[in-house]
A and B are shown apart, each in its own frame.
Chain A
Amino acid sequence: MTLPAPETVVSDARADSGHTERSLNIAFSKPVNADHVERTTTGYTGESAGALGRLAAGVASGSRVHYPEPDFTVDGPWLVLAPLSGVISTVATGRGRAVVTLDKDATAGGDPESLEQHLSTLLDTVRPTHDHYPVEMDTQGVFTTGMTTFSVDSIEIGENLTATFEVSTTPATNRSAVVSRFESVQNVKEVTYEPIVGVERAAPSAQLREAVESAHRTVYGDWEYEWLTTPGVFAEIPSTEKIAVGAGSPKTTEFSEEQYESTLDVLQTVLSNLEANT
């Protein structure tokens, strides 16, 4: 068993932040609650299994782990360990908020059936569509990761009917496209759109990019890029010398020993690639 015990991972990670002599910084997409993780014969299991597995691999890699809070004032390149299933990311989608106000009186004076119908029309309006791809059943985000998508944040019925949507944005998203989406809906009084976090696109040096691509090729046989679907800590890092590295899958409660070892292998290969080029 090479996996460290869950309870030691967090304390080791806190201690790691003091290693100022280390040149490669690692941040994490999620906080860890080690109390919710169990170490089994095949890996970690539990609510924070992935987050703990990534943290454990980061600590073992010999890099400078930033946990729990990253110190953005330090020098050097950054890697963010995220549940991206072994792919590389330099782009995180943005976030915005769209507020749509419907005239309640015009909807048959607030008649529940009419309101329901209007809400249904509104939800149909924000459903993703594409000329070629079955985006309406794209539960894995194969296509919708790169599309402007809307999810209902709240619906309020007062003087008017107000629907607030959280909007996932791409480099192609703009205010007029978001607003015009609702133009065809009857009785819309007002649509406002407010960008909250812009799309974050890193601009890593060729040295860092090639070190990461090459490490993925060595460990996984190929390298692939995909976007992060939440801005998170990746967007918070002010330096453009940053890349997110995929370790573990999203929405699972397992992080296998094999995933730990391949993540560690990638991190150590990145380090040696960077050292070889300095």
Chain B
Amino acid sequence: MRTIAEPVEGTEVRIEPADSPGIKVNNVSVTLESVCKADVRVDLVDDTVTVPTDRTRSFVVEHVLGPLGLRGVTAANVVGIRDDWDFARPEHRFCYGAELPPSCVVGHPAGLPNPALATALGQVEVVERASQPRQTVSEPVSFNANGGDIKLHPREDGAGIRFEATYGEAEITAEVDPHGETDETLIDSVTNSTTPYLSPNDEEAVTHAIADLVSDIAVIGGFDDLVVEANLAEAYHALTIGAAKKAHSSGLVEQRPS
């Protein structure tokens, strides 16, 4: 597992080192089972309690999980640190209505995959404590949702994930290793690109989408070695989370011993 040697801060969040594998957001383990919303954003709740309630909900987690995956951090505790309201944000209004603190919203206010966090993670020492098994799919997995389509292909052990994505008229190819090093220029361009809803053009939107794909397929879905072909449309987290869920529920996840 790869964690950080000391805590770092980004916009809206502090990241703390972890002693065991996996990422937690506001004390909730990041798993496909904990995803309660996946469309224009991804929210998590604690699915281990009898009745999941808003008391454990975290909002827009992809803006934090993307940079963590791009930096190859596989074990960490994410803590929301925002303590004031911006009611223009729908998620803040949700929290105010549900009597939750603004720290439940860990997404970036400008719709970015937290460039300050990506920078901080790039400057802190990443400690590899024990190697973890890597995961791919045993055969291709296809999924459609909200006008988009995606295909997850198996890839050789240790190759990382190649994303081949389109959004509107734009396309991008990106190589990411969720357990290792990723190109610095790619990280910089992805984390400084705004979410499609706020993007000025398709090029910026599809660049941003790489962070979302890393969040949903690699970090939440748990995959390390894949080729991902994705034609993204609106509310595409339904597509990316849906594909990861389908691979798991179909028994097509192949784990390679470390």
Binds B, one of A2-10, A41-49, A180-188, A221-229: A221-229
Neighbouring A residues of B85 by C-beta, 8 Å = 171-172
The answer to whether residues A147 and B51 also contact, given A132-B110, A225-B93 and a CB cut-off of 8 A, is no
Pairwise interchain contact A213-B53, C-beta atoms closer than 8 A = yes
- In the docked arrangement, what's the CA distance between A132 and B99, Å? 25
The answer to whether residues A130 and B88 also contact, given A214-B51, A225-B98 and a CB cut-off of 8 A, is yes
Neighbouring B residues of A130 by C-beta, 8 Å = 88
Contact with B along A131-170 (1 / 0, CB 8 A): 1111100000011111100000000000000000000001
The answer to whether residues A171 and B87 also contact, given A91-B93, A226-B97 and a CB cut-off of 8 A, is yes
- In the docked arrangement, what's the CA distance between A146 and B87, Å? 4
Residues 154-207 (chain B) with a chain A CB within 8 angstroms = 198
Instruction: Please tell me if A210 contacts chain B, counting CB pairs below 8 Å.
Output: yes
**Shortest Cβ distance from B79 into chain A, in angstroms?**
23
Instruction: Please tell me if B140 contacts chain A, counting CB pairs below 8 Å.
Output: no
Contact with A along B71-103 (1 / 0, CB 8 A): 000000000000001111110111111110000
Instruction: Tell me the count of chain B residues lying within 8 A, CB to CB, of chain A.
Output: 24
Chain A residue nearest to B194 in the complex (CB)? A132
Chain A residue nearest to B90 in the complex (CB)? A142
Instruction: Please tell me if A269 contacts chain B, counting CB pairs below 8 Å.
Output: no
Chain B residue nearest to A173 in the complex (CB)? B87
Instruction: Please tell me if A63 contacts chain B, counting CB pairs below 8 Å.
Output: no
Instruction: Please tell me if B245 contacts chain A, counting CB pairs below 8 Å.
Output: no
Instruction: Please tell me if A61 contacts chain B, counting CB pairs below 8 Å.
Output: no
Instruction: Please tell me if A25 contacts chain B, counting CB pairs below 8 Å.
Output: no
Chain B residue nearest to A214 in the complex (CB)? B51
- In the docked arrangement, what's the CA distance between A184 and B98, Å? 38
Instruction: Please tell me if A17 contacts chain B, counting CB pairs below 8 Å.
Output: no
The answer to whether residues A171 and B96 also contact, given A132-B111, A214-B51, A222-B37 and a CB cut-off of 8 A, is yes
Instruction: Please tell me if B234 contacts chain A, counting CB pairs below 8 Å.
Output: no
Pairwise interchain contact B53-A91, C-beta atoms closer than 8 A = no
**Shortest Cβ distance from A200 into chain B, in angstroms?**
11
For chain A, the bracket of interface size reads 20 to 34
**Shortest Cβ distance from A143 into chain B, in angstroms?**
4
- In the docked arrangement, what's the CA distance between A91 and B111, Å? 25
Neighbouring A residues of B36 by C-beta, 8 Å = 222
Instruction: Please tell me if B109 contacts chain A, counting CB pairs below 8 Å.
Output: yes
Pairwise interchain contact B97-A88, C-beta atoms closer than 8 A = yes
Residues 221-278 (chain A) with a chain B CB within 8 angstroms = 222-227
- In the docked arrangement, what's the CA distance between A120 and B160, Å? 57
Chain B residue nearest to A144 in the complex (CB)? B88
Residues 110-137 (chain B) with a chain A CB within 8 angstroms = 110-111
Residues 39-94 (chain A) with a chain B CB within 8 angstroms = 88-91
Pairwise interchain contact A225-B94, C-beta atoms closer than 8 A = yes
Instruction: Please tell me if B254 contacts chain A, counting CB pairs below 8 Å.
Output: no
Pairwise interchain contact B94-A226, C-beta atoms closer than 8 A = yes
Pairwise interchain contact A147-B87, C-beta atoms closer than 8 A = yes
Pairwise interchain contact B88-A133, C-beta atoms closer than 8 A = yes
Chain B residue nearest to A206 in the complex (CB)? B53
Neighbouring A residues of B52 by C-beta, 8 Å = 217
Neighbouring B residues of A132 by C-beta, 8 Å = 109-111, 198
Name 8 extra pairs, CB < 8 A, besides A147-B87, A210-B53. A90-B99, A91-B93, A133-B88, A143-B88, A143-B90, A203-B99, A209-B98, A214-B51
Interchain residue pairs with CB less than 8 A apart (15) = A90-B97, A90-B98, A91-B97, A146-B92, A146-B93, A171-B96, A172-B85, A201-B97, A210-B53, A214-B51, A222-B36, A224-B37, A224-B94, A225-B95, A227-B97
The interface of chain A, by Cβ under 8 A from chain B, is 88-91, 130-135, 142-147, 170-172, 201, 203, 209-210, 213-214, 217, 222-227
The interface of chain B, by Cβ under 8 A from chain A, is 36-37, 51-54, 85-90, 92-99, 109-111, 198
Please give me the 3 A-B residue pairs with the lowest Cβ-Cβ distance, nearest first: A146-B87, A225-B97, A132-B110
